[in-house]
Structure 1
Amino acid sequence: MTPDQATPSATTSRSSAPQTLGFLLLDNFTLISLASAIEPLRMANQLAGRELYRWYTLTQDGSPVRASDGLNVTPDAAMQAPLALDWVIVCGGVAPQHSVSREHIHWLQSQSRQLRHLGAICTGSWALAKAGLLDHYETSIHWECLASVQEAFPKIVLTTKLFSIDRDRFTASGGTAPLDMMLNLIAHDHGKALSAGISEMFIYEHMRNEQDQQRVPLKHVLGTTQPKLLDIVALMESNLEEPLELNELASYVDVSRRQLERLFQRYLHCSPSRYYLKLRLVRARQLLKQTSLSIIEIASICGFVSTPHFSKCYRECFGIPPRDERMGCQSRQAPKISSSTLIKHWGMEPASGEPASSALQALAYAQGEPTFASVPLIN
């Protein structure tokens, strides 16, 4: 997949006009996911000193909608309002299957016919899937919905990634994952310096990429039907520095080694040794990204007897050696950005009939901030 295919806004990345996003709010949507998606856009405008992005919140008929935390949110417009949108993002939350109406589906299908880029955050992917707009697309959704979505929409290529960008579709799993997705999209559109500046303003030190995974609780995958398997995995997770032998693991839960191997093959589709190795490597990746421990120390903490063996296993698992992973994290740290000349030019006025975008109001308030226009852009 080429970068232009992978990023929804690639065709307009250097346009002087702001990109316009419509956030369709479903009943019981999660407020943290909406904020995680919008706040990077607001800060992108502030640091650039002009309107790179504008956004509108939408509901089915323009009436207020209740978020999952009980707060009522008054939208900017009804979804049928004549807005010149570039992106449409569905914001889901609790029980999306009960929040998606026939009108939502028809409207989303009409947006697809108008060649708008379509996205979803948290459980909003359910709405796009119900409209048939995610067939054969790689899709991220909150782990609580993985099983139900896979059963209801078998043509979707579901993944446990935090977020997915596949051609003109982009989906994020929920929580703070939309923040990472937006930072990556902004970096593609306007450069890594801007994305790094946003991370710095949000005190967000470790921007995650499309390869980072949700941690799906094993209990959610297995339910309560395999308590011995859950106990074995818990033992593995508690003994990463000094891995237990498979015979020891089997004896702890009173099964034979053969039974142990059958359990893993049947329910986790791999051998117990392979699963154990992946647990150790995932832990190593977290330490590489989030600490200053040396690679030798990390290898030891994760139960590897030698650094070369650790590097070999890490590369086979993640496609990159640990040293390059560490260098990549360092290069993504937010640079010190000096203030530049105030830029007073941003975007165009709303077209006739369009409501005023809150992006312009936020940008006007931000003019007094010391960070205003602190990241010069090359356009």
Structure 2
Amino acid sequence: MPGCDGAQGIGFILVPGFALLSFASACEPFRAANRLAGRPLYRMRYFGEAPDGRVVSSSGAEVPCEPLPRERGDLHTVFVCAGGEPTEWHRPTIHAALRRLARLGVRIGGISGGPYLMAAAGLLTDRPCTLHWEHAAAFKEAFPDLSPTLARYVSAGDRVTCGGGIAPLDMAHALIRERMGAAFAGRVSDWFLHTAVGAPADPQRASSAERYGVHHPTLLLVLETMEKTVEAPLSRRAMAALASVSERHLDRMFRDKRGFGFTQQYRMIRVTHARRLLRQSPLTISEIAAATGFTNAAHFARVYRMLFGRSPSAERRIAKEASPFVPAALAR
């Protein structure tokens, strides 16, 4: 619903520890659109739970905010912006505000970790969605009925979800184009030297070849399969059959191209995934062991300590102590 001057209200609910870059990438294009149009196309409003009216970002910058909205007013779209770790996102007051706004007809969006809060509020049921790739593992464990795709952003009617970083620039371009046309949206993107606007389905991360530093197609197939099968690891024989090579050749490829063996690589991928779950999810250590293909928690703990030099419980404790935004109830 536009205001009396025709401006469309764009709101941002900020969760303590939100990523400043993601937030700026989302709100600055709307400010630039106003300047380029010479009139108020969009009116930005910032909301938070903090009683002192300020929300602190991950970098320590503070944004003055008004209380969470209870009425629609001129709000057309409201984004929830979250960073940090999912253990910090148990925010019933924000969940209730999102549900209330959705009932009032406001389009609801999430940026970076924001879609996690949307899911917790029950606003992504049967909806396509995305979120920052770093939080995908915890998201899938917390909401097994939802299947996020690691696209840059997903627009699904009255729901919009977006990865973090600079992906909101692409999303904002699409929303401005939706209202003002492609030519005007192009001018806004040029304002930010954003000359290569990403498509919604473009990947968030570098390719497997770039991340692993290899270009051998068979080896890449195996590495990508490893990433997809952390919960139920395939045997060397099954993986060799999938790649149409002998087990001996499979081992030789890993030693020649990666510098260590098939088993070591697979274990590292699984334990790195476990490390994200320890930091981001409320799952018990036994549940994380099962979710990463270990037969029991003791075996998982031995492998984890061997690779990272500390136990899974120590990893979780250090992650909690390192975050200034962990609610007291979760820190105990």
TM-score, with length taken from structure 2: 0.63
Change (3 A) 1:216 1:149: farther
Deviation at 1:237, TM superposition (A): 6.4
Hey, what's the Cα distance between the residues in 1 that align with 2:77 and 2:158? 9
Query: Which runs of 5 or more structure 2 residues have no equivalent in the other structure?
Result: 220-243, 271-332
1:236 to 199, 215, 218: 215
Hey, what's the Cα distance between the residues in 1 that align with 2:145 and 2:253? 41
What per-residue deviation string (whole Å, max 9, x for no partner) do you get for residues 149-180 of structure 1? 01111222300101111121101100000110
Q: Does 2:12 match 1:31? A: no
8 Å Cα contact 1:27/1:99 also seen in 2:
no
Deviation at 1:252, TM superposition (A): 2.9
Q: Does 2:27 match 1:47? A: no
Hey, what's the Cα distance between the residues in 2 that align with 1:237 and 1:68? 39
What residue in structure 2 maps to residue 295 of structure 1?
A: none
Instruction: Specify the SS of the correspondent of 1:236.
Output: coil
Q: Does 2:159 match 1:191? A: no
> In the alignment, residue 26 of structure 2 is paired with which amino acid?
A
> In the alignment, residue 25 of structure 2 is paired with which amino acid?
S
Deviation at 1:253, TM superposition (A): 2.4
What residue in structure 2 maps to residue 59 of structure 1?
A: 48
8 Å Cα contact 1:32/1:176 also seen in 2:
yes
8 Å Cα contact 1:96/1:124 also seen in 2:
no
8 Å Cα contact 1:136/1:157 also seen in 2:
no
Q: Percent identity?
A: 31
What residue in structure 2 maps to residue 100 of structure 1?
A: 90
Instruction: Specify the SS of the correspondent of 1:160.
Output: coil
8 Å Cα contact 1:135/1:157 also seen in 2:
no
1:180 to 167, 170, 180: 170
8 Å Cα contact 1:61/1:79 also seen in 2:
no
1:79 to 68, 72, 89: 68
1:214 to 204, 207, 211: 204
Higher share in helix = 2
Instruction: Specify the SS of the correspondent of 1:210.
Output: coil
Q: Does 2:121 match 1:121? A: no
Deviation at 1:104, TM superposition (A): 1.2
Hey, what's the Cα distance between the residues in 2 that align with 1:73 and 1:166? 29
TM-score, with length taken from structure 1: 0.55
Deviation at 1:68, TM superposition (A): 0.4
What residue in structure 2 maps to residue 152 of structure 1?
A: 142
Instruction: Specify the SS of the correspondent of 2:214.
Output: helix
Hey, what's the Cα distance between the residues in 2 that align with 1:52 and 1:25? 22
What residue in structure 2 maps to residue 317 of structure 1?
A: none
Higher RCO (Cα < 8 Å, 6 or more apart): 1
8 Å Cα contact 2:25/2:166 also seen in 1:
yes
Hey, what's the Cα distance between the residues in 2 that align with 1:175 and 1:233? 22
Deviation at 1:47, TM superposition (A): 1.1
8 Å Cα contact 1:88/1:116 also seen in 2:
yes
What per-residue deviation string (whole Å, max 9, x for no partner) do you get for residues 261-300 of structure 1? xx99xx99xxxxxxxxxxxxxxxxxxxxxxxxxxxxxxxx
Hey, what's the Cα distance between the residues in 2 that align with 1:146 and 1:100? 17
Aligned length: 233
Q: Does 2:7 match 1:18? A: yes
Hey, what's the Cα distance between the residues in 1 that align with 2:28 and 2:212? 38
> In the alignment, residue 33 of structure 1 is paired with which amino acid?
S
Instruction: Specify the SS of the correspondent of 1:43.
Output: helix
Hey, what's the Cα distance between the residues in 1 that align with 2:11 and 2:160? 14
What per-residue deviation string (whole Å, max 9, x for no partner) do you get for residues 187-216 of structure 1? 121111111101111111101111211116
What per-residue deviation string (whole Å, max 9, x for no partner) do you get for residues 291-335 of structure 1? xxxxxxxxxxxxxxxxxxxxxxxxxxxxxxxxxxxxxxxxxxxxx
Hey, what's the Cα distance between the residues in 1 that align with 2:9 and 2:111? 17
2:190 to 183, 200, 214: 200
1:112 to 102, 108, 123: 102
Hey, what's the Cα distance between the residues in 1 that align with 2:60 and 2:136? 25
What residue in structure 2 maps to residue 251 of structure 1?
A: 252
Q: Does 2:168 match 1:167? A: no
